[in-house]
């Protein structure tokens, strides 16, 4: 076993970490639904578009993000090893530091929020919103920040997942060997679990389909139970009784469930794995 392991606290079990990732799916889907009620409002993402009275020339979202993160930094948000800021030069906390059990090696060293920010602005927002401008700039940016924070937390959680896999006695020696060889490809194979990814994407489609429904009063019986109209709206008829398979008859939802699935398949899972690999490649640096 590596010397580093002796000074670190035991990492949470992989099953516990996966439970957190499942819970974050709900946070992310609801945040996307909240953002999708407003139009694209592309003005908030471009520099020099909104006229700031103090002469600031960046984008409205960047300005807002910095303000929000400054307040959150003051109350110690970014001292937590699962929280990563998008902006820098943030103020010091107004309270004394908290003591977190040392589970990660060099927790602050990997921060891929620039990549997450660009992916979100260029791919996610245009996908989940209607084109155009409804002037709800503050509301849209508030929802953007919630989406960004949830995505960042989920993706950087890969560090804990990687540490848990590294500490697992069944795979520890193999990880040490591959890290020493800097064998990125074999590390990727070792940390990948295709079955878990497939189950995740099926579950996500079912969740996005169900959470995305707009259940109006026309869908409820007088006693408050869901009537046939509601069942159809909820897509319950397209979920087979025995599994979370969803039929191909597309149900109209507040956020496109196929987009949520491709967001995870093409970005969230690959970026989480990228964080896992980067973390592992530096895991033995101080040994």
Ligand X SMILES: O=C(O)C(=O)C[C@]1(C(=O)O)C=C[C@@H](O)C=C1
- Going 232 to 234 to 238 to 239, the CA torsion angle's sign is negative
Q: In this complex, which beta carbon is closest to ligand X, that of residue 103 or of residue 191?
A: 191
196 near ligand X, rule: CB under 6 A:
yes
Which of 125, 246, 269, 280 binds ligand X (CB under 6 A)? It is 269
Binding of ligand X by 113 (CB under 6 A): no
> Which residue among 41, 113, 253, 272 is the active-site one?
272
Nearest alpha carbon to residue 126 among 40, 202, 33: 40
Question: Footprint of ligand X on residues 129-168 (CB under 6 A)?
Answer: 161
Q: Are 150 and 33 in contact (CB under 8 A)?
A: no
For residue 193, state whether it binds ligand X (rule: CB under 6 A): yes
- Select which of 154, 159, 205, 283 is catalytic: 154
Q: Under a CB-based contact definition with an 8 Å cutoff, are residues 221 and 227 in contact?
A: yes
- Counting contacts by CB under 6 A, is residue 116 touching ligand X? no
CB burial readout 122-139, b (16+ within 10 A) else e: eebbebbbeeeeeeebee
Cα separation, 192 vs 59, whole angstroms? 37
Listed in sequence order, the residues at least 6 apart from 165 whose beta carbon sits closer than 8 Å to its beta carbon are 14, 171, 175, 190, 191, 276
138 phi/psi in degrees, rounded to 5 = -65, -45
Q: Of 72-80, 93-101, 196-204, 213-221, which segment contacts ligand X by CB under 6 A?
A: 196-204
Q: How far from 159 is each of 9, 122, 273, CA to CA, in Å?
A: 14, 25, 9
* Known catalytic membership, residue 272: yes
18 is catalytic: yes
Q: Is 253 a catalytic residue?
A: no
Of the candidates 48, 193, 237, 286, the residue annotated as catalytic is 193
Q: How far is the CB of 107 from ligand X (least distance, A)?
A: 18
Binds ligand X by CB under 6 A, chosen from 105, 159, 272, 280:
272
DSSP SS3 for 226? strand
- Verify binding: residue 21, ligand X, rule CB under 6 A: yes
Q: Is 251 in the site for ligand X (CB under 6 A)?
A: no
Q: Is 26 a binder of ligand X (CB under 6 A)?
A: no
How many Å separate Cα 83 from the centre of its chain?
11
Which stretch, 61-69, 119-127, 189-197, 254-262, contacts ligand X (CB under 6 A)?
A: 189-197
Instruction: Look up 49 and say whether it is catalytic.
Output: no
Interaction mask 198-237, ligand X, x per CB under 6 A: --x-------------------------------------
Neighbours of 7 (CB within 10 A): 9
Nearest to 235 by CA among 211, 258, 203: 211
Q: Based on CB atoms, which residue is closest to ligand X, 109 or 193? A: 193
Residues with catalytic annotation? Answer: 18, 154, 165, 193, 197, 272, 276
Which residue ranges make up the site for ligand X (CB under 6 A)? 18, 21, 161, 191-193, 196-197, 200, 269, 272-273, 276
């Amino acid at each position: 076993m590596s010397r580093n392991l002796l000074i670190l606290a035991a990492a949470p079990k992989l099953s516990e970490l996966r439970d957190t990732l499942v819970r974050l799916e709900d946070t992310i889907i609801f945040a996307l639904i909240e953002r999708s009620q407003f139009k694209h409002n592309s003005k908030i993402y471009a520099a020099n578009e909104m006229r700031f009275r103090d002469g600031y020339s960046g984008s409205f979202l960047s300005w807002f993000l910095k303000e929000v993160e400054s307040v959150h930094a003051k109350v110690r948000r970014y001292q937590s090893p699962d929280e990563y800021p998008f902006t820098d030069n943030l103020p010091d906390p107004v309270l004394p530091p908290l003591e977190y059990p040392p589970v990660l090696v060099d927790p602050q060293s990997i921060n891929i929020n620039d990549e997450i920010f660009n992916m979100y602005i260029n791919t996610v927002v245009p996908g989940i919103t209607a084109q155009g401008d409804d002037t709800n700039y503050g509301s849209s940016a508030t929802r953007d920040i919630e989406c960004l924070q949830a995505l960042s937390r989920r993706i950087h959680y890969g560090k804990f997942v990687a540490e848990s896999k590294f500490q697992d006695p069944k795979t520890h020696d193999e990880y040490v060997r591959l890290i020493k060889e800097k064998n990125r490809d074999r590390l990727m194979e070792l940390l990948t679990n295709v079955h878990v990814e497939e189950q995740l994407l099926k579950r996500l489609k079912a969740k996005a389909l169900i959470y995305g429904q707009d259940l109006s009063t026309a869908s409820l019986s007088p006693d408050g139970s869901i009537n046939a109209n509601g069942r159809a709206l909820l897509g319950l008829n397209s979920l087979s009784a025995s599994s979370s398979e969803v039929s191909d008859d597309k149900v109209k939802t507040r956020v496109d469930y196929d987009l949520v699935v491709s967001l995870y398949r093409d970005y969230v899972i690959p970026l989480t794995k990228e964080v896992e690999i980067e973390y592992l490649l530096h895991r033995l640096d101080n040994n």
